[in-house]
């Protein structure tokens, strides 16, 4: 069994299903979403095991699913959405946090006064919002997840969440 996703972003529809093939997944999604039956084949894909998921810890909503570049864009969009200032520091993938499937840090250029990417007011706002030292990668990542109310899951972890909800 593989995990498949139906993503009709124009309709804000994201749905998951376990199936033995993409054809079986399409058939199942067509039965579930009869009013999207014609569209379904164009919006179903297999979730690759290396993809990650950003999920809202309050609502359970999936913000995005994809590789690290998709996650980075998603995080920056969420940061723009929840910040009181129209500036967010550039994020970079940070590979040192063992507990997380992926983590991000603020790009060093944003931390250096005089650098074109440095924004004093912006950095002060983010330091105040996150309540941590912005050059401590682990603290920034944990604070950012808490501030945005998100959790980053692997595909395996998402499947476990789905199984728990199926039992309920």
pLDDT of residue 109: 95
| pLDDT tens-digit map of 53-92 | 999 999 988 999 999 999 999 999 999 998 888 899 999 9
In the numeric block, the tokens 């998709």 are attached to 70
| Contacting residues for 110 by C-beta, under 8 A, at least 6 apart | 89, 90, 117, 118, 119, 123
Instruction: Kindly report the pTM of this predicted structure.
Output: 0.84
Q: Is the pLDDT of residue 101 over 90?
A: no
pLDDT of residue 167: 65
pLDDT of residue 95: 72
| pLDDT tens-digit map of 17-45 | 999 999 999 999 999 999 999 999 999 99
Neighbours of 23 (CB within 10 A): 11
Q: Is the pLDDT of residue 166 over 70?
A: no
pLDDT of residue 1: 84
pLDDT of residue 96: 63
């Amino acid at each position: 069994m593989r995990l498949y996703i139906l993503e009709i972003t124009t309709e804000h529809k994201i749905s998951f299903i376990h199936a033995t093939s993409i054809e079986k997944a399409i058939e199942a999604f067509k039965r579930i979403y009869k009013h999207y039956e014609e569209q379904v084949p164009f919006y179903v894909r297999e979730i690759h095991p290396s993809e990650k998921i950003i999920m809202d810890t309050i609502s359970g909503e999936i913000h995005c699913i994809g590789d690290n570049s998709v996650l980075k864009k998603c995080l920056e969009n969420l940061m723009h959405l929840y910040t009181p200032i129209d500036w967010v520091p550039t994020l970079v993938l940070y590979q040192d946090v063992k507990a997380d499937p992926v983590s991000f840090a603020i790009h060093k250029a944003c931390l250096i006064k005089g650098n074109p990417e440095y924004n004093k007011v912006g950095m002060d706002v983010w330091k105040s919002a996150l309540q941590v030292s912005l050059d401590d990668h682990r603290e920034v990542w944990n604070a950012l997840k808490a501030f945005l109310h998100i959790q980053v899951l692997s595909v395996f972890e998402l499947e476990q969440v789905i199984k728990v909800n199926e039992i309920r």
